[in-house]
């Protein structure tokens, strides 16, 4: 059983057997994990909203072509709240460093910088988050709902969203054909 912040800066990879419409085939980046609970951002569910559209709705200037950059569904909790998961560099008004290389920011100043081309080198914007009460995530891990693995920057920022779940399973050496019972079938 995990304790403390052992799962912080890890991917939670939904097992194929996880039958929950919110988390089926998701990869969640765990930003915080403590005795009080856990907070993560789903990184492989792009919404229909582009970064450019979101900035426009917020009256944030956008001088870059961000029409193809999606805003991700970060989880079912507070879907009106935005988070930017990004590489470390500049510190913004509301930044929490998660690891040596990654931080999350929830203040408007980072969005203004992104719109003007002065933002972090790599970033991912989500609306909402996934949250677990004290002991809830540990219980779900014991019941094999999730696998966990250290976060991978390549998967976070360079792998296409539809490929992130399978790529995360591969980090663990998991063969989907074995998990799904298709092994040996032609």
Q: pLDDT by residue (tens digit) across 21-38?
A: 899 999 999 999 999 999
Q: Indicate the average pLDDT of the chain.
A: 90
Q: pLDDT by residue (tens digit) across 139-174?
A: 999 999 999 999 999 999 999 999 999 999 999 887
pLDDT of residue 91: 81
Best CA proximity match to 51, nearest among 109, 123, 3, 101:
123
d(CA 52, CA 111): 10
Q: pLDDT by residue (tens digit) across 99-141?
A: 999 999 999 999 999 999 999 989 999 999 999 999 999 999 9
pLDDT of residue 1: 41
CA 28 from centroid of its chain's CA atoms? 5
Cβ pair 148, 15 in contact under 8 A: no
Q: pLDDT by residue (tens digit) across 38-83?
A: 999 999 999 999 999 999 999 999 999 999 999 999 999 999 999 9
């Amino acid at each position: 059983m995990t304790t403390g912040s052992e799962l912080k800066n890890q991917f939670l990879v939904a097992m194929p057997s996880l039958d929950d419409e919110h988390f089926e085939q998701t990869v969640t980046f765990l930003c915080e994990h403590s005795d009080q609970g856990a907070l993560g951002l789903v990184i492989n569910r792009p919404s229909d909203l582009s970064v450019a559209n979101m900035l426009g709705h917020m009256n944030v200037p956008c001088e870059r072509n961000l029409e193809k950059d999606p805003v991700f569904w970060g989880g079912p909790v507070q879907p009106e709240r935005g988070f930017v998961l990004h590489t470390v560099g500049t510190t913004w008004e509301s930044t929490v460093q998660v690891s040596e290389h990654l931080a999350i920011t929830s203040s408007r100043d980072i969005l203004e910088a992104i719109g003007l081309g002065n933002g972090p080198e790599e970033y991912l914007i989500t609306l909402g988050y996934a949250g677990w009460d004290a002991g809830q995530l540990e219980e779900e891990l014991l019941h094999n709902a999730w696998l966990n693995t250290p976060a991978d920057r390549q998967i976070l920022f360079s792998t296409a969203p539809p490929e992130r779940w399978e790529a995360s399973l591969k980090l663990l050496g998991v063969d989907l054909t074995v998990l799904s019972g298709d092994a040996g079938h032609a």
